[in-house]
Structure 1
């Protein structure tokens, strides 16, 4: 027995060679990811730490930062009516635009999942708004379309309907931005389409044999099987909605009467118009916590409606 153990025992020299090999592999791996790692530390972690420190200071970019403790947070949460308005506008925007965007994306994904000839081309065409929708050019075009003398009013006038100032009216300005965001449905549509193509066709065939119509198949097969994809799209689009900036800043500038004062627009205004960097940093951390809480709630409630095949449903 001792002779057999001696044969299988690794010599100190062999152990040393194994350690050298493992170290070499580790260093090679770190070298490969070093560009990303350096970028992550310098461009993400570093600025986050700096903004956290600045959120406890009075800093205007022109003089040294002075420590004020929780004063910025106290002012934001207790004595800043525009902060409250920006939160309200952003929440209304997110809770209206996100479900509508996902519903529209799902309907088109189901339409393109028929496998008919040419659906690939139409899928690509309908994906284009997601690529260019957040650009400055599209924001400018949208502002012109819904302006006083824009294409929308021109069309309404041509068919005998009364025209209106869509962007200058506090009651309709936010709707214009919501419509623009819904138009950028391509990204969730592609993800829905991928999820639909993973559903076994045998399930639909069996349901048809049992006499289930299309609507019943959608409720009993498509939706339950698609809930993980719906959940993913819901989380991503919700987070993206809170970060919306370009469209509101260029189309309405937060107006009229702060009707489209998105949180990101107000944060930008505080930071780069009034140069209150400490105050803006505190606002940035507050929205981070708010997004984190909402995302946490989505994850906690997902166990009641998201079904995973590997777990046999939850």
Structure 2
């Protein structure tokens, strides 16, 4: 009994730092957010319990509806684009026989660029009239789009920015592809399987866990899409962010880049409605958690999902 108690205390002492970190930085903030989501709270006065009023208000919030549509658009297009871009880059690198290390570095470097700096660079490159990309397209006789200044092209422009920085996913796919079973690939080749058949029936089942991981991480990250959308709107409109950290041009042009986290931020820090902001944060957490579970269930165990 004494030995078992000593063993339990030893294990608990090793787990204590991680346990304390999880409780302080995850469990407590989550429980607090759930509690404040049922209150009227502005950080200056005592929270007032209002029940489900904050959640009911979401169905009447026109700005929230726009933010949800834009965020779902990014999830539908940005996540697959980043996954396909990372996988295509990784497949290309596996075929290189010389200078593979240099090309890996070149492909991965954009992922290291700070989001704000990368967004500002893209806004300049795609700037109508004076941007290098539009100047080149004009010289080729093409009619260049307005990119970040057009509500039809602003979201595709942000997808291009995300695709440019897909080196983080490329590294994951490359590690999985390099670990693919060569014996099975050689056997499939001897049996007459072409490149697509080898990829579909041998390589893809092997890298499936990495595909699931990148899909889950991509969805969670895109549901929290904030910095690039905010910086692109402010830079493209030509108006800087205010001293309070809130720009009057969030969503420029015409609300096309107004995402769910941007509205959450505006509600909490411009209007001071922290109770409603906490309700928005709780809904975002529940949606991200539910989508992650759905992806894991349908992708890892497709037979049980059916």
Query: C-alpha displacement at 1:23, in angstroms?
Result: 5.3
Partner of 1:3: none
How far, CA to CA, are the matches of 2:146 and 2:303 in structure 1?
42
- TM (normalized to structure 1)? 0.84
Shift of 1:278: 0.7
Q: Does 1:22 align with 2:19?
A: no
Aligned counterparts of 1:305 and 1:168: Cα–Cα separation in 2 = 46
- Cα distance in 2, alignment partners of residues 199 and 164 from structure 1: 42
CA distance in 2: counterparts of 1:22 and 1:298, whole angstroms: 38
Contact 1:227 1:305 in 2 (8 A): no
Cα distance in 1 for partners of 2:4, 2:294 equals: 45
1:210 correspondence with 2:220: no
1:147 counterpart residue number? 127
Partner of 1:282: 279
Q: Could you report, residue by residue, the CA deviation over 1:223-257 in whole angstroms, capped at 9, with x for unpaired residues? A: 22222221121111111111111000110132212
Q: Deviations over 1:152-189 (max 9, x none)?
A: 22222232222342212111111111111122211111
**Of 155-164 and 190-199, the range deviating more from structure 2:** 155-164
Q: 1:19 to 1:289 in 2, by over 3 A?
A: closer
Choose which of 58, 63, 66 in structure 2 pairs with 1:85: 66
Counterpart Cα distance in 1 of 2:262 and 2:107: 28
Match of 1:179 in 2: 160
Alignment CA distance shift 1:205-1:147 (3 Å): same
Query: Aligned partners of 2:291, 2:81: CA distance in 1, in Å?
Result: 18
Q: Which consecutive unaligned segments of at least 5 residues does structure 2 have?
A: 234-249
User: Which of the pair has more CA radius of gyration?
Assistant: 1
Deviations 1:176-210 (A, max 9, x none): 11111122211111111111122111112112212
For residues 135 and 157 of structure 1, the distance between their equivalents in structure 2, rounded to whole angstroms, comes to 28
Other-structure match for 1:64: 46
Task: Give the conservation status (yes or no) of the 8 Å contact 2:75–2:223.
Answer: yes
Normalised by the length of structure 2, the TM-score is: 0.86
> What is the CA–CA distance in structure 1 between the aligned matches of 2:111 and 2:39, rounded to whole Å?
39
| Cα distance per residue 1:120-165 (max 9 Å; x no partner) | 2211221122222x52211221222222332222222232222342
2:234 maps to 1:234: no
Shift in alpha-carbon separation, 1:20–1:73, aligned structure 2, 3 A: closer
Specify the alignment match of 2:32 in structure 1.
50
Match in the other structure for 1:4: none
Distance (whole Å) between structure 1 residues aligned to residue 102 and residue 7 of structure 2 = 49
**2:36–2:275: 8 Å Cα contact kept in structure 1?**
yes
* 1:191 match: 172
8 Å CA contact 2:267, 2:277 repeated in 1: yes
What CA distance in whole angstroms lies between the structure 2 residues aligned with 1:163 and 1:200?
Answer: 46
Write the mapping of 1:105-184 to structure 2, written as runs, cut at 5 A: 105-114=86-95, 116-132=97-113, 134-148=114-128, 149-184=130-165
Deviations 1:267-304 (A, max 9, x none): 11111111111111000011111112212221221222
**Other-structure match for 1:273:** 270
Give SS of 1:167's match. Answer: helix
Aligned residues: 287
Which blocks of at least 5 consecutive residues in structure 1 are unaligned? 1-14, 307-313
Cα distance in 1 for residues equivalent to 2:303 and 2:43? 48
* Partner of residue 296 from structure 2, selected from 281, 285, 299: 299
